[in-house]
Amino acid sequence: MAQTIKKPGELYPAYREKPEYKASYEAELLDTYDKIQSRPQFSYDPEDDALYRKYKSDYVRQGQRAMKDSMGQASALTGGYGSSYAQQVGQQQYDAYLEKLGDIVPELYQLAYSRYSDEGDRLAGQYQRLQQLRDDEYRSYTDALEKYEDEQQLLYEREKEAQAEKEKQAQLEYSRKMDEAATLARYGDFSGYAAIYGEDTARSMREYWIAANPQAAYNMGLVDAGRYFALTGSYAPGQAPAASGGSGSRSSTYYPGTAPDGRDAREVQRELRNMGYNIAVDGAWGPKSQAAWEKAYGGSSKSNGSGALSALGGNADYLVRV
């Protein structure tokens, strides 16, 4: 009657789905971490700086313009003839602009370093934000999982209680039926046991009860006088040996027509003959038939037939003798 109790997590699967950790930020978090780890050390080459190249282009153009203007002015002062002086003045103007370009390199370096630092700070901040989002998501997952497991445990305990109550009610019902069957059996009615154990078992229990209580069985009409004699070895109340006719006649022995187990005497005698016992198959259950029966099946019918029916098995333990 015991029932299988389910484990937590197996109860009511449609009631609530088990939470799953989605790991929504893990990929982005790993990508940001890789970017931080793979960043090269800071270095500055002006030629790789677009801003420097723009300044350089502007200063070179302005230097060339200044150089032409200076050379033109110098030539005008000398009557329009070119001279080394004009070239010298023009070159000085050009070099002055190149010097200005050199002066802004430290500033451009600092700007490049600031951009490098800002990018590092941005990646670090992004990584921290993603960590926080990941931690919040995981915390929500663990909270939901704990709640789910608590609900499953509660359902499990309720199921255990419900099953225990079912088993208790089933045991009470079984005890009630057993008590009812025992009450009916006191009056030779084994229908209650038949409902519990089946007809074959109830029939064996009935035979055991008759063998154990022949007087009550006879009074109830469950056995006839012949069966009573076979079970007890004595005449039933109100019965006497049959007598032969004539004044010189003597009493004849009364031999029943049934064996101790209730079957027809001829049938059992034939069975015993086939087993090798030298008895007549005449339908009269006499001393020879009884002796063969006791040797074949054990016990004595004079002890209320209990030995003859010992083969009925443990079901006899359920009987209440009258």
CA distances from 218 to 54, 132, 238, 265, 312 (A): 131, 93, 12, 18, 21
Per-residue pLDDT at 169: 94
Distance CA 257, CA 224 (A): 10
Q: How far apart are CA 158 and CA 150, in angstroms?
A: 12
Each residue's pLDDT tens digit, 209-218: 988 888 888 8
Question: In the chain, pLDDT over 70 holds for what percent of residues?
Answer: 76
- More confident: 163 or 15: 163
Decide: 214 and 305 in contact? Cβ < 8 Å.
yes
Q: How much is the average pLDDT of 58-82?
A: 68
The confidence band for 100, taking pLDDT boundaries of 50, 70 and 90, is: confident
Q: What's the predicted TM-score (pTM) here?
A: 0.45
Asked if the model's pLDDT at residue 251 lies above 50, the reply is no
Q: What is the pLDDT of residue 219?
A: 82
- Condensed to tens digits (0 to 9), the pLDDT of residues 257-315 reads 888 887 888 899 989 988 989 888 888 888 888 889 888 887 544 434 443 334 344 44
Rounded to whole angstroms, the Cα distance separating 78 from 92 reads 18
Q: What confidence tier does 138 reach under pLDDT thresholds 50, 70, 90?
A: very high
Domain ranges, ordered by start, for the chain:
26-162, 186-240+255-315
> 3-state DSSP call for residue 243?
strand
Per-chain mean pLDDT for the chain? 79
